[in-house]
């Protein structure tokens, strides 16, 4: 941890939990919920942002209403595992909006991708024109999601 960063205390964790469940909560309501003055809560929130505990704020959109209702996970195995191939692959993934997440993993393959498409036809087009053309890709395995049982970005605090 950065030497200038202080560990969050009990109140900080409560603020983080409240903001995580409602990023649009007013400073006044946040202050009431943690029993501090609005000025003190604002200072704490600004410190939590400055210290990197809060990365940003965003709206969660409904993919079904926006033509991205099909989630597909893809295992990617690269043909070579050299720094150059990793860097080329990572750079190519960054510019593709269909790829929502990309994680380098330990195990039987190199990367796990989370993608969102309109439907299977759109995924087939993406696989042929984008996925299999990414630098260094030797093999992929596709897992189309049939049901989202749990989908949360909230960290347990």
Backbone angles phi, psi at 20, to 5 degrees: -65, -35
In tens, the pLDDT along 20-73 reads 999 999 999 999 999 999 999 999 999 999 999 999 999 999 999 999 999 999
Between CA 143 and CA 71 the distance in angstroms is 9
* Six token digits for residue 114: 């989370």
Query: Structural domain boundaries of the chain?
Result: 10-50, 63-144
Q: How confident is the model at residue 3 (pLDDT cuts 50, 70, 90)?
A: low
Residue showing tokens 């630098």:
135
> Would you say the CATH fold of 63-144 matches that of 10-50?
no
Between CA 17 and CA 35 the distance in angstroms is 15
Does CATH number 3.90.650.10 belong to domain 63-144? no
Percent pLDDT > 90 in the chain is: 93
pTM of the model: 0.87
- Fold classification of 10-50 is Arc Repressor Mutant, subunit A (1.10.10)
């Amino acid at each position: 941890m950065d030497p200038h960063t202080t560990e969050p205390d009990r109140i900080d964790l409560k603020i983080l939990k409240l903001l995580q469940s409602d990023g649009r909560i007013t400073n006044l309501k946040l202050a009431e919920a943690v029993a501090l003055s609005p000025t003190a809560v604002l200072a704490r929130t600004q410190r939590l942002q400055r210290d990197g505990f809060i990365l940003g704020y965003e709206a969660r959109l409904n993919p079904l209403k926006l033509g991205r209702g099909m989630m597909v996970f893809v295992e990617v195995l690269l043909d070579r595992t050299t720094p150059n191939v990793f860097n080329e692959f990572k750079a190519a993934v960054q510019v593709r909006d269909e790829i929502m997440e990309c994680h380098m993993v330990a195990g039987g393959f190199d990367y796990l991708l989370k993608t969102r498409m309109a439907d299977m036809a759109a995924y087939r087009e993406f696989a042929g024109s984008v996925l299999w053309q990414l630098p260094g890709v030797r093999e992929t395995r596709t897992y189309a999601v049939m049901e989202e049982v749990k989908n949360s970005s909230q960290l347990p605090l």
